[in-house]
Chain A
Amino acid sequence: MMWLIQLIILIIVVVTALAAITVKDLLGAAILFGAYSFMMCLLWAIMGAVDVAFTEASVGAGISTVLFVAAVFRTSRRTKD
């Protein structure tokens, strides 16, 4: 059962990673990267690394996304690829 959940989350992680590098809008990429980080955090919680999952939930899904949004706000949303 745990194995199945892990497999599903792994697939979601790969999909969000691919989406984050292909979407043609930097703000969308930043938000997708936040979703990727949160899925990663769930994966670590399943593997039993509770401290790492907690850190990733606060750092990766929280602060990193805010920093990305702030940088995109200060530069531009435009991207060619």
Chain B
Amino acid sequence: MHDLTLILMSKLNYWIYILLMMIGLYAMIVKNNLVKKIIGMNILQTAVILFFISIGAKNKATIPIIEHAHGPGNHAVSAAHYINPLPHVLMLTAIVVAVATLGVALALIIKLHQQYRTLEEDEILAQLKNE
């Protein structure tokens, strides 16, 4: 029983991220509406970002801003006291790129709506077949 709790404590987070990622993937595959597909894409992106952030987490560590940086004397900086900053850097740029892709995707949607007057995938496909 104790082992099971330990496994749950250490792995439950990852399982929830996978659940989130699968929600996003499911929306991208199954949903018929294009805006819903984009929301699914964003959910998938944030789930991946969440996963990256969580592999940088450390127990008993503080945020990656060095303490007493301007105090008198030099304090020794130990790597175990600070959370791993590298995933934060990579994901910070990923979030901003995510909003850039979102902008382009929404521009494509507006263009499609001007052309076909609908956002449903099957209606667009039916119009394409009739042409």
Please tell me the size bucket of the interface on A.
35 or more
Main secondary structure of the interface of A (DSSP, over half): helix
B49 touches A20 (CB 8 A): no
A71 touches B106 (CB 8 A): yes
Please tell me the size bucket of the interface on B.
35 or more
Contacting residues, chain B, for A7 (C-beta < 8 A): 12
For chain B residues 70-107, which have a beta carbon within 8 Å of chain A? 83, 87-88, 91-92, 95-96, 98-99, 102-103, 106
A38 vs B96: C-alpha distance when bound (angstroms): 15
Contacting residues, chain A, for B110 (C-beta < 8 A): 71, 74-75
Residue of A nearest to B15 (CB): A10
A49 touches B83 (CB 8 A): yes
Assuming the contacts A52-B95, A71-B110, asked whether A81 and B53 have C-beta atoms less than 8 A apart, the reply is no
Contacting residues, chain B, for A81 (C-beta < 8 A): 31-33, 36
A13 vs B16: C-alpha distance when bound (angstroms): 10
B83 touches A14 (CB 8 A): no
A56 touches B83 (CB 8 A): no
B50 touches A40 (CB 8 A): yes
| Partner pick for A47 among B57, B95, B118, CB 8 A cutoff | B57
Contact flags (1/0) for A27-60 with B, using CB distance below 8 Å? 0011001001100100110011111100110011
Give the interface of A toward B (CB within 8 A).
Answer: 3, 6-7, 10, 13-14, 17-18, 20-21, 26, 29-30, 33, 36-37, 40, 43-44, 47-52, 55-56, 59-60, 63-64, 67-68, 70-72, 74-76, 78-81
